[in-house]
């Protein structure tokens, strides 16, 4: 059985979340949840676009009921979910704490841009996390990551060889294909990933680590179900982010010797 994980991100000036919705090849195309999701799309106001985007719909609290309807369609989907989140300031601090040997690194300017880019970091870390979590999630066959084609596709593809070498070092019997890039107009699963990432970011900004309910018109009506709960999220702390970049630094220094 093959699988696809559809990724999308949600970002603000404080926090970055990358969320994934994982379907297998037998449930993705024709599942009732996708059909129900598609039935809701014509209800989106014309000034909010033609596809579901959480940030666009929730510019108005008048759309809360519609948002909740989309959420229930998402909860009924036969899929797994995963996500990682981190504070942008922690990422920036981790990168700047290391004295990178820029004078000895090929394409140093490109390298500097990439390590400072939280999306590139989240991309690499999420694939590694899927490898580690694959058995727990029941994802045992080959998996293809799918990203919204509006994201940083070129940068990700340019660095695929290095990233593949990094995550494939895990002894898991798990295989991952080259990433695909698709329009969220064509894939409701990408829209679901957008919803999941937005909700997690909002929930963590509002409630920190507690995930408790408060007087919030969007979050409060939503049941914490199988797709949205604290266990879905791998929250990267400052020390873990620093350790990731320290590993990269050590590898670079080893290659330079």
Other Cβ atoms closer than 10 A to 45? 13
Q: Give pLDDT tens digits for 137-163.
A: 666 667 788 888 876 655 666 665 554
pLDDT, average across residues 193-202 = 91
71-75, 211-215, 248-252: which range is least confident on average?
Answer: 211-215
Q: What is the CATH number of the domain that holds 100?
A: 3.30.420.10
Query: What total of structural domains would you count in the chain?
Result: 1
**pLDDT exceeds cutoff 60 at 168:** no
pLDDT of residue 165: 45
pLDDT of residue 147: 86
Structural domain boundaries enclosing 28: 3-256
pLDDT band at 65 (very low <50, low <70, confident <90, very high): confident
pLDDT band at 8 (very low <50, low <70, confident <90, very high): very high
Q: How far apart are CA 17 and CA 147, in angstroms?
A: 14
């Amino acid at each position: 059985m093959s699988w696809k994980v559809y990724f999308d991100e949600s970002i603000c000036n404080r926090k970055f979340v990358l969320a994934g919705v994982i379907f297998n090849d037998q449930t993705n195309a024709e599942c009732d949840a996708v059909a129900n999701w598609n039935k809701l799309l014509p209800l989106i106001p014309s000034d909010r676009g033609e596809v579901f985007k959480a940030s666009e719909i929730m510019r108005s609290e008048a759309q809360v009921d519609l948002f909740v309807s989309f959420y229930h369609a998402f909860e009924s989907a036969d899929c797994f979910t995963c996500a990682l989140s981190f504070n942008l300031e922690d990422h920036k601090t981790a990168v700047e704490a290391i004295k990178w040997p820029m004078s000895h690194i090929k394409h140093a300017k490109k390298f500097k841009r990439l390590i400072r880019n939280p999306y590139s970091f989240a991309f690499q870390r999420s694939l590694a996390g899927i490898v580690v979590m694959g058995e727990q999630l029941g994802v045992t066959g080959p998996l293809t990551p799918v990203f919204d084609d509006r994201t940083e596709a070129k940068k990700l593809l340019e660095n695929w060889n290095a990233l593949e070498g990094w995550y494939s070092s895990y002894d898991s019997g798990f295989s991952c294909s080259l990433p695909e890039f698709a329009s969220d107009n064509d894939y409701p699963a990408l829209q679901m990933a957008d919803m999941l990432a937005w909700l997690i970011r909002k929930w963590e900004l509002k409630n920190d680590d507690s995930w408790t309910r408060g007087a919030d018109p969007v979050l409060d009506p939503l049941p914490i179900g199988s797709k949205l709960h604290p266990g879905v999220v791998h929250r990267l702390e400052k020390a873990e982010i620093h350790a990731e970049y320290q590993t990269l630094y050590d590898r670079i220094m080893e290659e330079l010797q």
